[in-house]
Structure 1
Amino acid sequence: MTARRLLALGALVLALAPTLGPTAAHAAADGSIEIQLLEAPESRRDDPRALAYIVDHLHPGDTIERDFAVTNHTDRRQRVRLYAGPAEIRDGQFIGDEAGTSNELTSWVSVSRSRVRLAPGETTEQTVRVEVPPDAARGERYAVLWAAVRSHGGGDVRLVNRVGIRLYLDVGRGGEPPSDFSVDEIVPGRNASGQPTLTAQVTNTGERAIDVRGEVRLRRGPGGLSAGPFEVASGATLAPGDRGSVAIALDKSLPAGPWRAKFLLRSGRVVHRAAATVTFPTSGTGAAVTPRDADPTDAASGTGSPWTDPWVIGTVTVGLGLLLALLLLRRRRRVAAAPPAPGGGP
């Protein structure tokens, strides 16, 4: 069963670029073609990756279908070709191969219509179908559902512009293999323009590909300063066992530190928090720091658990002492003002 949804973040717009980066939240009204996933499995409704990509675990012989939309944001009528192409994960990126190539997964994929004509501003809804053969071997496979158009680039040169939706399809009997990753170290640095940066080195410790994104907050800086959250500038797509980096660019006006850097990184349902004390170098790359797991309350609020702060503990203690003293004083005044009992008794 699937839950139909309009997924504004499911569109991935490219132009002559085989690398499929993170999804983009825009209306693609810049003279481009947009492709958008319209539904995701009920079992993955809490998985952000499944809202943007086709991510699933299937048994040999299974079949799935997903609806998607293609919109023409150009100012002229377009003939759009819809097809599946192979992909691979390399150097921390999800890369779609050139047109005309294929792999095992693409042979399992079909589209309700392979070619559509769209007027300016027109949208068409189509269905992609994946049929896994009964004798399919265990393992995860990658592909891209492409929407491609041809255009003149001047003279006799014709350009092919493509936009796509990633496919991560794992095949095997039984339940889905686990997904997980570790945050190994945090490296402060500065780029060529002097902007401070933080890079988290991560390792895919699970059995499925991951797309690591997230944010960082800075706390306990010079003079008690805080900053952030800062979103990941470039994430990492990692196959099982791969190691890569997640880079975050920070505000150029930030002082060198030291700072308490608190990362919140996620891939789908998998979330990891890590914290480390860092100081930005004057240039280049600083010393790598091994992070510790951040307290969930700490990462969620971005400020740390207030009950572990010595200043807060001291303030609360003094406040409770004053409150207790006031209560005792009021009690004594009430006793002193009470009339004597008849007969001199207590």
Structure 2
Amino acid sequence: MPSPTLFTAALTAALAFAVPPAGAVAADAAGTTRDSAYAVSAETADPSAGATTWTLEPASADGPDGRVSLRHVIDPGSIVEDHVTVTNFSAEPAVFALYASDGVISPTGDFDLLPPGAMPVDGGSWISIGAVEGATPRDGGLALELPAGGSATVPLTITVPEDALPGDHPAGVVAELTQDDGGAVRLTSRVGVRAHLRVAGDVVASLQPDEVSATWIPSWNPFAPGSVEVTFSITNDGNVRLGADSAVSLTGPFGLAPAEATTTSREVLPRQEMLTTVTVPAWPLVLGTGSVDLAPLVVGEDEITAPAAASASFTVWTIPWVQLALIILLVGGFLLLRLARRRSAARVQARIDAAVAAARTTEQQAVAAN
């Protein structure tokens, strides 16, 4: 059973979809399942079956070469050769499926590939998995059985179409271990190497905030601020990946009670968008006016110039419902108390008047008797 340290390193590397230059990061399949549509690492359901630990690394024809990813700038219609090495560190033989797919960004902001079974239509479809002795073709890739401690270097051919658009076409290659638990559930674990594929040509870097909406969330404490939840899409309408620092600002009428909240998106891929939500503290001043300001960031080792900042404005009703309810309760209580006092005073006055009238009647009767 691999050590917890190795497993932690493996899971971190898998989720980042990159392999450090040292090349010793592995995927470990053991324990309980962690598989999902966006995960790139999972665990088998039966620890007693043993653990399978493996790596996938960028390589030359001679083996791992210390690169973190596959990075190429390619002309349309060109072909590039590259390699990856898969290594089985386990004490038992294992079969791995190798294939390529398109890059996406998961809802958590991490780089990932399309879910298993989804067909690539962009950069992933350009990568062909080459033949390896003892391997068999499988769904656009190959199935490769490795003995305990064995490794194999797999050739890749990247063929760029003549009509490929300039810019980034994110992709990756994965080594997938699929295990059948004997029932209807199949648990899939995969680790991968990212492929930064850029087609030569005019680079257009652009990020825009779109579809901004704001929702007022009052506080049940009438003496504390509420919050405004601002949701917006960061749309990459250029052809290269970018990160973004997002600042959401909000003020009440006449600039009262300004507030701001920030967030950072590590990466938004070209021709894709990322849904982002930011919560800003706000006082209930009836109407709030705000803006979403994006400051694009260059990602990693990309050699581009970050575009100018972009912004979008919004308004939101911040009705002080709790405070109004408190005022209604206070005013209503005051009016009820005042009405009760008036009624009490009227009853006392009525008794006084009745007593005075009775006394006068008695006095008049006494005078008449005399």
TM-score by length of 1: 0.47
For the pair shown, the structure with the greater C-alpha radius of gyration is 2
TM-score by length of 2: 0.45
